[in-house]
């Protein structure tokens, strides 16, 4: 029997990507009866689903961010499950703690929806698992040849060198509160930075959760409870939106920094007034996207969101069928 083309049973709808025989959506942006959630970032994990199937860590993240009742029912995925005849397995995506690719098998066809993923090592989560498949579904946040991320440990060494060279000035580092924050802390600890790290209040609850889930972050202090003078020369982390707001005026002559794949673009760093841009991303850069697409050996590749033109064109040059899904509801918030 010829296998049905995956586009006949897995397709985009106005709620998001839908698996028809399984009767579930993957990372839907509106409430649905049953959702499979790849990871805890806000553009993938939303509250209000009847049932949310995810890894145990993603479920914990959702409960911290949205509350314990944020889904009618949470289902922790462990190994392969049968969902209405479709085999569903969550494989590590290497993006943030708990992040997963959704591996679907139905009538002899394997499709992998990778969510957000990266290939660079990250001490705060399990590494990306390469799953050969017929259809690979990828994002394209950094889907242009200009995007090439630096090795994260190299960027962290630059930050540590600046701390050493400027012992009187505090360093204010903008980080997304889920994933990037904890990765930067663990990398700094690995680079030998053993002093307390000060946190903006918005970063505290997810750092506490990482600690509870076994990711050691060293001594963290709340910046608001620091005594006068204590912050001179201190390492302070805050959400990107707080780098230049009133809050940061309590710091003495801070050196502002931001860890993001967008820091490759100098204009973006200037726009935000960032003195020390660090090109650290939790997404694939262009070479990683192409390498992964080649390694999956998929004949067909769908691009969910991001800079899809260049990537779909490149997929065609690789001898594969490429398709831009242009799914809505995804942002660049978590890069
Ligand atoms: Zn993400
Ligand atoms: Zn995303």
pLDDT at 249 over 90: no
Nearest ligand to the C-alpha atom of residue 27: 2
- DSSP string for 150-163: PPHHHHHHHHHHHH
Q: What angle (nearest 5°) sits at the alpha carbon of residue 89, between those of residues 126 and 45?
A: 70
Position 272 scores a pLDDT of: 86
Separation of CA 95 and ligand 1 centre (Å): 7
d(CA 85, CA 72): 22
Of 2, 3, 6, give the one whose Cα is nearest residue 298: 6
Task: Give every strand in the sheet of 24-26, ordered side by side.
Answer: 10-13, 16-19, 24-26, 34-36, 49-54, 71-76
d(CA 142, CA 10): 25
| pTM score above 0.85 | yes
Nearest ligand to the C-alpha atom of residue 282: 1
pLDDT at 219 over 90: yes
pLDDT at 187 over 90: yes
Separation of CA 41 and ligand 2 centre (Å): 6
Nearest ligand to the C-alpha atom of residue 141: 2
- Give pLDDT tens digits for 95-121: 999 999 999 999 999 999 999 999 999
pLDDT at 1 over 60: no
- Give pLDDT tens digits for 76-99: 998 899 999 999 999 999 999 999
Separation of CA 225 and ligand 1 centre (Å): 31
Please compute Rg for the chain using Cα positions: 21
Give the SS3 label for residue 129. Answer: coil
Separation of CA 3 and ligand 2 centre (Å): 31
Nearest ligand to the C-alpha atom of residue 140: 2
Separation of CA 334 and ligand 2 centre (Å): 6
Position 247 scores a pLDDT of: 79
Please check whether residue 57 is in contact with residue 199, taking contact to mean a CB–CB distance below 8 angstroms: no
Position 97 scores a pLDDT of: 98
Local structure of residue 93 (DSSP, 8 states): -
Separation of CA 117 and ligand 1 centre (Å): 8
- Residue-averaged pLDDT of the chain: 95
């Amino acid at each position: 029997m010829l296998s049905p083309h995956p586009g006949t049973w897995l397709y985009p709808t106005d709620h998001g990507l839908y698996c028809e025989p399984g009767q579930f959506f993957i990372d839907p942006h509106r409430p649905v009866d049953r959702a499979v959630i790849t990871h805890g970032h806000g553009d993938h994990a939303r509250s209000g689903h009847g049932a949310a199937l995810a890894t145990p860590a993603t479920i914990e993240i959702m409960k911290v961010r949205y509350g314990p009742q944020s889904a009618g029912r949470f289902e922790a995925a462990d190994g392969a499950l049968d969902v209405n005849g479709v085999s569903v397995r969550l494989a590590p995506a290497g993006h943030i703690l708990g992040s997963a690719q959704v591996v679907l098998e139905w009538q002899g066809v394997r499709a992998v929806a990778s969510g957000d993923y990266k290939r660079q090592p990250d001490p705060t989560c399990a590494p990306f698992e390469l799953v050969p498949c017929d259809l690979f579904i990828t994002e394209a946040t950094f889907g242009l040849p200009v995007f090439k991320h630096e090795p994260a440990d190299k960027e962290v060494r630059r930050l540590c060198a600046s701390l050493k060279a400027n012992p009187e000035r505090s360093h204010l580092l903008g980080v997304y509160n889920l994933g990037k924050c904890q990765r930067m802390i663990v990398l700094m600890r690995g680079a030998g930075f053993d002093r307390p790290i000060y946190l903006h209040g918005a970063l505290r609850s997810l750092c506490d959760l990482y600690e509870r889930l076994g990711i050691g972050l060293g001594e963290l202090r709340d910046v608001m409870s620091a005594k006068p003078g204590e912050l001179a020369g201190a390492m302070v982390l805050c959400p990107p939106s707080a780098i230049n707001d009133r809050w940061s005026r309590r710091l003495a002559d801070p050196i502002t920094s931001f860890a993001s794949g967008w820091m490759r673009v100098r204009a973006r760093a200037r726009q935000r007034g960032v003195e020390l841009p660090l090109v650290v991303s939790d997404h694939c850069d262009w070479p990683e996207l192409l390498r992964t697409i080649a390694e999956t050996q998929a004949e067909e590749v769908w691009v969910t969101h991001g800079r899809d033109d260049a990537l779909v064109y490149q997929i065609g040059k690789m001898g594969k069928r490429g398709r831009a899904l242009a799914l809505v509801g995804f942002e660049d918030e978590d890069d």
